Structure formats: structure tokens, C-alpha cells
Amino acid sequence: MADTCLLIHPEELDTQWLDQLEALRVGALGLHPVGGRRANETLAAMLERFETPAYRALLEDAARRGIEVTCEMHALRYLLPEEALTAHPDWQRVDAQGRRAPDLNLCPSRGEALDCLSDRAAALYARLPGRPRRVAMWLDDGKDAFCHCEKCRNISPSDQQMMILSAMLKGIRRVRPDARLAYLAYFETLPAPTRHDLKEGLYLEFAPYQRDLTRPLWDAACEANRRETAHLSALLDFFGREDATALDYWFDNSLLSGYKKPPKRLTPHADVVRSDKAFYRRLGFQRVESFACYLGADYRALYGPPDLSSFREDG
Ligand SMILES: [Zn+2]
């Protein structure tokens, strides 16, 4: 039952959501704080929520129902806030224009920056409910988000991500030695990395953000989907199938709503969902997930409960 998962914003979790997950036989819930430039603030707000009795009761209710709770979040800016990068300008990445900038991620060729990241990742992980074995602490969300300094310019974004994740995992494993951390493959990190020496403990999380949701992902006649899946075999060869996770957008009503409330009405393409899930299983993915944000109480008040039936294994 634990091999499907839906990701929602932490503030959207309520008893009705747990009822829906149970009815869909979804075994896991991913808490996903809002990303973007304020991802550090939404992550901090989630951690505060974990300390309140009402929220703890919801998490306990999930556990009673056999629903595993995980966290999937853009964590880099929280782990290395702008103040830390301003205090250590040499930790900042060099952007495509050749300027050092505290805007996104960091320079992965700076050992002290990676050591700091390692410690802070351990502290963050220790605060997550249940300290889940698999955790997704993604880097900053952006299309050109990596370092172009003299040392990094010949290191691909995928390998830069490997260097950063490897440092984070080192810290996390001081808290839980068998923890595994997601390598998020999307935008620039879709091509497979080459750093085999760093892959122990990292698992593939494939997120075809720029896909066409109206066409099956494997549809070779669909240019967007062909592009999104072009590196998939190489990624699976590199990371293997253990914990391999497909994170799709079938029910991502925040995407459909242009990341602006009020939410729009979600009309999932049920045939595409079923066909894509079978495609992922054929490739050997062990877990299939979808974002399902903007489908909380405000959505239900406007449109009634969302139709997620195609996500059921027998749906
Ligand atoms: Zn660099």
C-alpha cells in the first residue's frame, strides 16, 4: 500500500484529506511547503506547525490509518539562508553572467559551504516527524540554478547536484544511518549524472515538470513528453530501481491554477493517469507520486471533493 503517494501543502492537511487518501488506498502522504523564492519561510512555517497539538493529532491520525507521512520540499534556501551566503560571498554561486549572486543554491566547489550544509541538513532532518527513511530535500527551484565559477563551469548541473546532495546526506545519516535522499531530476538535472562515487544513499526522483498532461508520457508523437523522457533510461541505469520514484503532476491544481488562489476546478485526464502509471511500473519505478496541491478545504467549498479515482491502483 505504501507505493503511491500524494503531495499536498502542509496547511491543507485535514481529516477529510486523510479520508480521501484512505479511500484511494494511497499509502503515503508527502508534505510539500510552497516552493519559489519564499520556500525558506514556508518550510519554517511547516516546522512550527509540527509543534502544535492540533497538527500532531492529524499526523497521529495518519499513522493510525497506516498512512506514512514524508516531507518533500525545496530546502536549500532554508539550509543556507541569504544571510549565510552574504556573510561568505565565496560560497555564492557564479551565475551565467559571471556574477557571484546569493540568489540560488551555492558553489559546490567550496568545502566549507558543503560542511555547513551537512550540519544544517542534519538539524532539519532531526525535526521531521518520524524521521522518514526516504526524504526529499530539494535544491532551489529554478531553471538556471547552478554555479558557473572557474571550478564548477565544467561540472554539469546534475553532477553539481550530486555534490550538494552527497554533503546533505552525510549530515542526515548522522541522525539516521539508513536514510536515503532524493535526487530530483527535472529542468537542468534531467540528464544522468556521472559521479558514481557519490551515489550511495541517493535515489532517483523523476519529475517531468514540462510535460504535456493531456498526452501519455510515453507518447513519442508528443514533443514535450519525448523531451521529458529522453534521459529516463540513463537515469534509471545510473541510480538503479531501489526506491526509484516518479513524481508527476496529474493532480497538481496549484500548477493548473497558475500558483494563485482561488483554486481552479481540476479535471484530471484519467486515461493519461492510468496509462502513465502503467508506464512507470513497466520501467521499474517503485513508487508513483503526484502533486495534489490546492485541493484542500477551500477547493472542496467551491467544487466539492476532487475526483482522484484514477490514482487508485484499481482505478
Ligand atoms: Zn562554483
Summarised one tens digit per residue, pLDDT across range 93-106 is 999 999 999 999 99
CA of 155 to the centre of ligand 1 (A): 9
Per-residue confidence (pLDDT) for residue 315, from 0 to 100? 57
What gap in Å lies between CA 17 and CA 19, rounded to an integer? 5
CA of 79 to the centre of ligand 1 (A): 18
What gap in Å lies between CA 154 and CA 168, rounded to an integer? 22
* Pairing verdict, β 93-94 and 287-291: unpaired
DSSP annotation of 287 reads E
What gap in Å lies between CA 315 and CA 309, rounded to an integer? 6
For cell 503515503, the residue is 28
Per-residue confidence (pLDDT) for residue 313, from 0 to 100? 78
Write the burial class of residue 227 (CB in 10 Å: 0-12 exposed, 13-18 middle, 19+ buried). Answer: middle
Domain count, the chain: 1
CA of 202 to the centre of ligand 1 (A): 22
CA of 102 to the centre of ligand 1 (A): 12
What residues of the chain score a pLDDT lower than 50? 1-2
Q: Taking CA 271 as the corner, what is the angle to CA 212 and CA 21, rounded to the nearest 5 degrees?
A: 95
CA of 89 to the centre of ligand 1 (A): 12
CA of 99 to the centre of ligand 1 (A): 11
CA of 95 to the centre of ligand 1 (A): 9
Write the burial class of residue 11 (CB in 10 Å: 0-12 exposed, 13-18 middle, 19+ buried). Answer: middle
DSSP annotation of 128 reads S
What gap in Å lies between CA 184 and CA 167, rounded to an integer? 15
Per-residue confidence (pLDDT) for residue 159, from 0 to 100? 98
Give the list of residues 6+ apart from residue 143 with CB closer than 8 angstroms, or none: 187, 188
Write the burial class of residue 103 (CB in 10 Å: 0-12 exposed, 13-18 middle, 19+ buried). Answer: middle
CA of 149 to the centre of ligand 1 (A): 4
Range of the domain at 275: 4-311
Q: What is the CATH number of the domain that holds 300?
A: 3.20.20.80
Peptide bond into 262 cis (omega under 30): yes
CA of 110 to the centre of ligand 1 (A): 7
CB distance 96 to 144 below 8 Å? yes
